[in-house]
Structure 1
């Protein structure tokens, strides 16, 4: 009985919050500047694009679930152009905190689950003919700032830090320190637009 009452209470609270909130679909797109830390690889430019649902709970807080394609990895200029290209589908939960009630300037914080959608593993061959595999998922945290205009367009700058070792550089083949974790790091700059519904 207690479980039923608790479930009913949680459902009522969730329903009330959803009913009082304003939801809008939108798109995000922009540029990545990605790097695999401790790998010896150079920065790699890439693109990101995706969809989101902005749920405005209060005048100062919006929760924004997102699904985003993100091209990451690193450039290996010293290996005759054998770059590492990782294509992720990122499932993120952006929390936007607005400084004023009239939208405008805001801070962004949240977690991200990144899944390599090529085939879960990227198979690389080193000079010794050994297979190198990159971990198929990454957990990340991100933060940033943005400015949202009244007509739905927003400019955003985000920094995303991966937390899971990509685990492909055990031999030090790609330079850097093979004893340290190889982690994704991405700077993103781009646009977001919310559709009026």
Structure 2
């Protein structure tokens, strides 16, 4: 009985919060400047694009679940221009903290789960007979700043740091130190737009 009451109470509170909040669907798109840390790869340009749902819970806080396509990896000039391309679907939860009540300038913080659905890394066999592949998922944290205009357009600058080793350095394919983790690092600059619903 207590579990039923507690569940009912939580559902009522959640419904009340979301019913009083203003939710808007939107799109994000822009440019990535990506690098794989502790490898021989240089910075590489790519694109990101996707959808989000902005849930304005208070005057100064918006919770924003996102699903984003992001092209990352690194530039490998010493391999005849064959860059490492890693294509991720990122499922993120951006938390936006506004400096004033009237939108405008804000800080962005959050986590993301990045799923590698395609890459051009050539599967190799190491000296122990193991098949070498890039790690299929990455956990990342991100932070940034932005400015949102009254008509729904926002300018954003974000930094995203991967936390899981890509685990390809044993191949010797991209240089770097095999003793150190190869981590994604991405700077993002772009636009976001919220549709009026």
Shared fold per TM-score greater than 0.5? yes
Q: Is the 8 A contact 2:39 2:175 kept in 1?
A: yes
User: 1:196, 1:140 → 2: CA distance?
Assistant: 30
SS in 2 for 1:18: helix
Partner of 2:147: 147
**Aligned 8 A contact 2:28 2:51 in 1:** yes
**76 and 130 in structure 1: CA distance in 2 versus 1, 3 angstrom threshold:** farther
Which runs of no fewer than 5 residues in structure 1 stay unpaired? Answer: none
Distance 1:38 1:188, change over 3 A: same
Q: Which segments of 5 or more consecutive residues in structure 2 lack a partner in the other structure?
A: none
Q: CA deviation at 1:132?
A: 3.1
Q: Which moved more, 1:68-77 or 1:173-182?
A: 173-182
Shift of 1:150: 0.3
Is the CA contact (8 Å cut-off) linking 1:115 and 1:136 kept in structure 2? yes
Q: Deviations over 1:14-70 (max 9, x none)?
A: 001001100000000000000000011000100000000000000000000000000
What TM-score, normalized to structure 2? 0.94
What is the root-mean-square deviation of aligned Cα atoms in Å? Answer: 2.3
How many corresponding residue pairs?
197
CA separation of 1:112/1:120 partners in 2, compared to 1, >3 Å: closer, same or farther? farther
Q: What SS does structure 1 have at the residue aligned with 2:118?
A: coil
Shift of 1:126: 8.9
Alpha-carbon displacement from aligned partner over 1:112-165 (angstroms, at most 9, x marks no partner):
000011289863689999853100000000000000000000000000000000
Aligned-partner Cα distance in 1 for 2:109–2:123: 33
Q: For the Cα contact (< 8 Å) 1:26–1:52, is it kept in 2?
A: yes
Tell me how far 1:82 sits from its aligned partner.
2.0
In the alignment, does 2:96 pair up with 1:96? yes
